[in-house]
Amino acid sequence: MKHSSIAVLGAGSWGTALALLLYGKGHHVNLWMRDKEQRDEIRQTGENKQYLPNVSIPEELNLLTDLEEAVKNVDVILTTVPSQAVRGVLQQISPYINSNQVIVNASKGLEQKTLLRISEVVEAVLPGQSYVALTGPSHAEEVCKEMPTTIVVASKERKTAEYIQDIFITPTFRVYTNPDLIGVELGGALKNVIAFGAGIADGLGFGDNAKAAIMTRGIREIARLGKAMGANLATFAGLTGIGDLMVTCTSMHSRNRRAGILIGEGKSLDETLKEIGMVVEGITTTQAAYQLAKECSIEMPITEEIYRILYEGTNARDAVTNLMTRTRTHELEEIVDEETIKW
């Protein structure tokens, strides 16, 4: 295929890993970061020590701190900055981009103040700009080592999704397309909330039984809210639903799970964030999901208890008791579909 020019905005672990993947395919890659010190350190050491240590970064990879230089005249702009920073970055690049460029977002979250999905943020700042969401079960630490990984790209336009599919796909990085932009974005964002809860259970010393319950009931919550917001329920049975939930709830690569473990062990939120040292998307997404559930009149008990732990000071063990002693009910339901139960 024809090689493309791509600006990767954000040099955290995921941005760095995707920049390396794209560079390895022969694309021209601009990797933009805010911090000149970070750029200089990468140049001097040949690795991104803070976010992706022990991974070699070739000298030919174009490292930039100037946004205009990074995005001007490229074919694709890939945003990997934290969800709460996406709007600001888009506003900064808006004078320098043209209508033919495709915005691809690889951040997984909801905008906290507006409760918008990232595609809605892009539409608000850059109306009519072609947009693709890239998400799925994919740890940067494994992608940069070329371990087999499968992800999904979603867009309102099939041609655009397939264009991005061709740019990213490699023998070790398989890319699927999906037209359900709402479901793909919600699955990627909300799984971080449930993974935070799985981490709390681990931190409290609970076992596999508890984690299985959180994951299974968690995907039910995600699907329930997704259905209310117009998503295709089948999406939540796929890579961006169950797949991403599994990997984020079970892996120590997951900073959401690691943060939950620290909370479960009794650390404060400030102590937890300091120890993780990177953005934990599940914390802000919990607040957004909690508010969306209220607006949609959707029951999301796991999300509600995590919200109370994070924002109301509820003790983690008390939250578990609240979940376990809820009004008894039945579970004659499909994972991603709901029928009236006659029993």
Nearest to 172 by CA among 154, 149, 151, 206: 149
Within a 13 Å sphere around the CA of 121, how many CA atoms are in the beta-carbon half?
27
Q: Where are the alpha helices (DSSP H) in 179-330?
A: 181-203, 208-228, 244-250, 255-264, 269-276, 281-296, 301-311, 316-324
Q: How far apart are CA 87 and CA 112, in angstroms?
A: 11
Q: How far apart are CA 155 and CA 195, in angstroms?
A: 26
Within a 13 Å sphere around the CA of 5, how many CA atoms are in the beta-carbon half?
11
3 state DSSP class of 156: coil
Helix-, strand-, coil-residue percentages of the chain, each rounded to 5: 50, 15, 35
Q: Which residues are catalytic?
A: 191
